[in-house]
């Protein structure tokens, strides 16, 4: 399915020069087993003119864009394909302002496109992990010391997140990552996430935050005291470490800081999903990531749902 390679933006544009070529590619990717009605998958389907189909059981008409990220869009598919290519291939993503310039559309439309695309990134952020799994929490938000005097938040330092949003991250050593935006880092919040995504009997490595206390009933738990750095350990520091997940946090924070002015709490999970998608599929070619996202584009996001999230 993923045999065609588009190594550059120019090759992508040449491969999809018009609306019909994009529709043909969508049908090839999404309906590789045959046309399926989005209203009744068991129904017989009749082909109609203008790339439309009719569901026999419901009598409704549909096309390949129905109930997907492309549903009811007034922007041509060539621009959608280019947007998907850019957001999947750029290591730090792309801002709505920059995308609006690249596509010749308004910033509002570019933002809505990106949010629709990000809604599909979540397919790579619910991974079952096993073996050696590193766990860590990160806090998204600017540093208090860098704020202007009238914007500083009192008693905000360390694990205080009055002005920050906590994120719990889990990475299987040599495997995939799962990251979840949470309301706090208490035991009652962290441990259900670990039990959901980490297989029982696995090895969990974390720092010495008390939120991990008691998880030993589910996994073999090793905790690291970062204050021990430079001193003699009673464990093999080449194996017992959280360098992988901490490195991932560094990349994510750099991406968010360099590419976006700010990200609100209600939309932060979507941006985390975007990062996890690229992190987990980093060994894929750009064209493979492009087609993989299209294959999993069956999520329709409405503008009013984004605003009222």
- 199 and 247 together in one domain: yes
Number of domains in the chain: 2
- 54 and 141 together in one domain: no
CB 153 within 8 A of CB 163: yes
Distance CA 3, CA 236 (A): 44
pLDDT at 265 > cutoff 90:
no
- 67 and 16 together in one domain: yes
Q: What is the pLDDT of residue 98?
A: 93
pLDDT tier for residue 28 given thresholds of 50, 70 and 90: very high
- 290 and 241 together in one domain: no
pLDDT tier for residue 230 given thresholds of 50, 70 and 90: very low
| Domain that includes residue 55, residue range | 9-120+283-307
* Structural domain contains residue 84: yes
CB 206 within 8 A of CB 224: yes
- 141 and 90 together in one domain: no
pLDDT tier for residue 69 given thresholds of 50, 70 and 90: very high
Check which CATH number belongs to the domain holding 247 and give it.
3.30.420
Q: What is the pLDDT of residues 166-215, one digit of tens each?
A: 999 999 999 999 999 999 899 999 999 999 999 999 999 998 889 999 99
- 147 and 203 together in one domain: yes
In this structure, of 125-134, 221-230, 236-245, the range with the lowest mean pLDDT score is 221-230
Average per-residue pLDDT in the chain? 87
């Amino acid at each position: 399915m993923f045999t065609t390679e588009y190594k550059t933006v120019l090759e992508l544009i040449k491969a999809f020069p018009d609306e019909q070529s994009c529709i043909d590619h969508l049908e090839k990717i999404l309906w590789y087993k045959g046309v399926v009605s989005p209203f009744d998958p068991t129904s017989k389907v009749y082909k109609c003119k203008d790339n439309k189909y009719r569901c026999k059981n419901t009598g409704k008409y549909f096309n390949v864009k129905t109930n997907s990220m492309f549903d009811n869009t007034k922007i041509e598919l060539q621009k959608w394909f280019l947007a998907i290519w850019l957001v999947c291939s750029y290591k730090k993503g792309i801002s709505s302002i920059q995308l609006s310039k690249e596509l010749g559309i308004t910033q509002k439309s570019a933002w809505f496109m990106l949010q629709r695309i990000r809604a599909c990134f979540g397919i790579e952020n619910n991974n079952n992990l096993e073996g050696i799994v590193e766990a860590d929490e990160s806090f998204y938000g600017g540093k208090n010391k860098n704020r202007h005097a009238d914007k500083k938040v009192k008693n905000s330092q360390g694990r205080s997140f009055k002005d920050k949003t906590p994120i719990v991250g889990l990475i299987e050593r040599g495997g995939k990552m799962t990251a979840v935006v949470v309301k706090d880092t208490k035991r009652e919040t962290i441990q259900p996430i670990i039990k959901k995504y980490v297989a029982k009997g696995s090895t969990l490595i974390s720092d010495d935050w008390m939120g991990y206390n008691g998880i030993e009933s589910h996994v073999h738990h090793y905790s690291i005291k970062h204050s021990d750095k430079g001193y003699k350990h009673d464990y093999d520091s080449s194996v017992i470490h959280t360098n992988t997940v901490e490195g991932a946090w560094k990349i994510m924070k750099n991406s968010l800081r360099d590419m976006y002015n700010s990200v609100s709490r209600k939309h932060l999970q979507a941006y985390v999903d975007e990062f996890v998608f690229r992190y987990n599929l980093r060994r894929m070619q750009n064209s493979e990531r492009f087609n993989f996202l299209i294959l999993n584009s069956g999520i329709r996001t409405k503008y009013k749902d984004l605003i009222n999230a």
